[in-house]
Structure 1
Amino acid sequence: MARMFRVLGFWTLAIALMAFAGDMYEMALLFFIQTAVFFLLGYLKFTERAYLMMFWGYMVVAFLGFTYWSVFEMGLPL
């Protein structure tokens, strides 16, 4: 399971580099931070249950943040 967090770190790094190349600096910074956190968690020796709880916590926060941003910050087209 720890290896999966390193894989997530790799993909978030790829997304961050593409965002940086596309002059989307806020998005790039967000994904660089996620990359650092995923690589850090990938090298810590947690139990599989702990990794699963952290992943689902991350998913809940990410989906709530995405939903908040897309509904309240972007506005609804009328």
Structure 2
Amino acid sequence: MGASKQAEEELDPKLNLDYETFRPEERESGAVIRESHLENVLWEMELALLQSDVAMEALEDMKAIIKKRLVGLRVES
């Protein structure tokens, strides 16, 4: 199993960010997370993990999972 799939499976039970699981009234209000909103946070995470000698492949997998799970999610502002 690839590192990406394994990391995503480990996150799934902990983070239930699936857009379809939210009630309709929760989907109608708030702001939509865009990839541009995550840029600074992901950059800071990347720097911290690289300083901790995390493999670049693992780092890229984590960033992809985070983007996949958060981009498009509507949150209350």
Between structures 1 and 2, the one with greater strand share: 2
> Is TM (by shorter chain) over 0.5?
no
Using CA pairs below 8 Å that are at least 6 residues apart, which structure has the higher relative contact order?
Answer: 2
Higher helix share: 1
- What's the TM-score bracket when you normalise by the shorter of the two chains? 0.3 to 0.5
Q: TM-score, normalised by structure 2?
A: 0.33
